[in-house]
Amino acid sequence: MAGRGNFSSRLGFIAAAAGSAVGLGNIWKFPFEVGGGGGAAFVLIYLAFCFVLCYPVMVAEITIGRATHLNAAGAFSKLGFSRFRFIGILGVIAGIMILSFYNVVAGWALGYFIEMVMGNFAIGSQFGTFITNVFKVGAYGIVFMAATAFIVSRGVSQGIEKASKILMPTLIVIILSLTIYGLTLPNGSDGIAFYLVPDFSKITFEVVYNALGQAFFSLSLGMGALITYGSYLSREENIVTSAALITLADVGIAFLAGLMIFPFVFYQGLEPTGGAGLIFVTLPGVFESLGGAWGTIVGSLFFLLLSFAALTSTVSLLEVPVAYLVDEHKMKRGKAVWGMAGLIFLLGIPSLLANGYSEFFSSFITYFGAESSNSFMDLVEHISSDSFLPLGGFLIAVFVAYVWRKENWMAEIENGAPGFSETFLAKYLDFTLRYICPVILGAIFVLTVLSRFFGVNFFG
Ligand code: PHE
């Protein structure tokens, strides 16, 4: 595809797509969702969702993208079903919403890197004050958004692909080392027990839908990010194995992040239910315990790599609306990139203020029948990541199974995987996309909206 750009190699695509998947969702969000969702029970449900429901949706998204070489909305038109463009447009909107709050948290990560470089380990206990310093944190947010825009403006293979290939492996090494260290600490095993021994009485409907939202968010699914990345993938590549590698990398790193964090939480006598501040409160003390120079080195490296992991995700979030503007509205890439980045930063300002600085945005809304209020940032997250992504996944599964149809999507996969349609996996994908994904995703979506926003609960 002349002019649109392509990934230069299979590894490049996998690194970029895994880079999109692996981010704050794995290292920041997954542990606090586990902590708030009762531990191992949440982990089990999450894993089941990833492999049973999300993997087929991922294959579907990449296939739609590669078949059309177009953005999330244009892809549906090119396949001949313009009426389904709205799925892609919903994705563009979800991407804009997610990036608006994601960039705020990425700004925290970048800020923590600077604090670690300066040896300020006390920052862990001052997290609450740190995030209300909105001018400082906002400035980190501007730097982060600008870095994202810079990479996206350089295009697919020079920007996105190059950055991902180096950063991902380094991150894994440092998390692994920290995990091993955590296992040697007193009370570390209590953390492991919390994380790995399920207590099924902790499973409520809320735990189930949070796990589903988390699975979609973490795998970058349901909003066309992988349609868009798939659109830069060449016909020779094997979509099914690539998707499997991306899923394994993402789930593996989330799992490791949990293994790393809970021993540290229990060792320091902190609460696993600490919420969105969990890693920011917990880790600085751990780095301090490493002593002097080591603490500074490991601490800075950790938050630097966390920032990079976030960067390969923000890049994919920004790429979705940018590809849409470039393909559909014939906008110049540079103009689309910087315009969108500026707009999304502005849309993120209420989220920036929603962590204690502004009373109004911090307790922005109380849903029907709820006891406590939610911040503006929570609201955006609940709508985009917990509702729109599973909805997008539902629509994509229905589209692929019933509108585009089996012979067509199979044929596209066969391009890079001759003989695939005869395999067991092909039958499994066909079955899940046809029956399991629509039913489960559809049901959970409806029940989530009813219970979360309207206080209508069928499960007590
Ligand atoms: N998967 C990313 C993460 O875990 C976030 C993301 C969601 C990126 C949706 C792109 C699309 O951090």
Question: How far apart, in whole angstroms, are the C-alpha atoms of residue 259 and residue 246?
Answer: 20
What number is the average pLDDT over the span 248-255?
A: 95
Q: Is the pLDDT of residue 453 over 60?
A: yes
Which of 218, 307, 324 maximizes ligand 1 atoms within 8 Å of its Cβ, making it the mutation to test the pocket? 218
- The pLDDT assigned to 1 comes to 38
- The pLDDT assigned to 156 comes to 64
Size (the chain), residues: 460
What is the pTM (predicted TM-score) of this model? 0.94
- The pLDDT assigned to 16 comes to 84
Q: Which atom of ligand 1 is nearest to the CA of 28?
A: 12
Q: Is the pLDDT of residue 160 over 90?
A: no
- The pLDDT assigned to 9 comes to 76
**C-beta of residue 50 within 8 angstroms of C-beta of residue 251:** yes
Which of 313, 381, 391, 396 maximizes ligand 1 atoms within 8 Å of its Cβ, making it the mutation to test the pocket? 313
Contacts of 7 (CB under 8 A, 6+ apart): 13, 16, 156, 157, 161, 232, 233, 234
Torsion sign (Cα): 282, 284, 288, 290 = positive
Question: How far apart, in whole angstroms, are the C-alpha atoms of residue 42 and residue 34?
Answer: 6
Contacts of 56 (CB under 8 A, 6+ apart): 397, 428, 429, 432, 433, 436, 437
More confident residue, 306 or 168: 306
- The pLDDT assigned to 232 comes to 87
What number is the average pLDDT over the span 193-215?
A: 92
Query: Among 274, 358, 367, which residue's Cα sits nearest to residue 32?
Result: 274
Q: Is the pLDDT of residue 20 over 60?
A: yes
Q: Which atom of ligand 1 is nearest to the CA of 94?
A: 9
- The pLDDT assigned to 149 comes to 96
- The pLDDT assigned to 387 comes to 93
Question: How far apart, in whole angstroms, are the C-alpha atoms of residue 375 and residue 361?
Answer: 6
- Domain extent listing, the chain: 10-454
Question: How far apart, in whole angstroms, are the C-alpha atoms of residue 49 and residue 437?
Answer: 10
Q: Whose CA is nearest to atom 9 of ligand 1?
A: 220
Q: Which of 18-22, 228-232, 403-407 has the highest mean pLDDT?
A: 403-407
What number is the average pLDDT over the span 211-224?
A: 96
Given pLDDT bands bounded at 50, 70 and 90, which one contains residue 350? Answer: very high
Given pLDDT bands bounded at 50, 70 and 90, which one contains residue 413? Answer: very high
* Percent of the chain with pLDDT strictly greater than 90: 78
Q: Which atom of ligand 1 is nearest to the CA of 222?
A: 9
pLDDT digits (tens, 9 = 90+) for 369-387: 888 999 999 999 999 999 9
Computed over every residue of the chain, the mean pLDDT equals: 93
Q: Does domain 10-454 have CATH number 1.10.3470?
A: no
pLDDT digits (tens, 9 = 90+) for 257-306: 999 999 999 999 999 988 889 999 999 999 999 888 999 998 998 899 89
Residue 443 to residues 17, 45, 173, Cα–Cα distance (Å): 28, 16, 39
Ligand 1 environment, Cβ below 6 A: 20-21, 23-26, 98, 217-218, 220, 223, 225, 313, 316-317
Query: Among 302, 307, 280, which residue's Cα sits nearest to residue 117?
Result: 302
Given pLDDT bands bounded at 50, 70 and 90, which one contains residue 3? Answer: low
In angstroms, what is the span from residue 383 Cα to ligand 1's centroid?
Answer: 15
Q: Which atom of ligand 1 is nearest to the CA of 316?
A: 10
Given pLDDT bands bounded at 50, 70 and 90, which one contains residue 2? Answer: very low
Radius of gyration of the chain (CA): 21
In angstroms, what is the span from residue 269 Cα to ligand 1's centroid?
Answer: 31
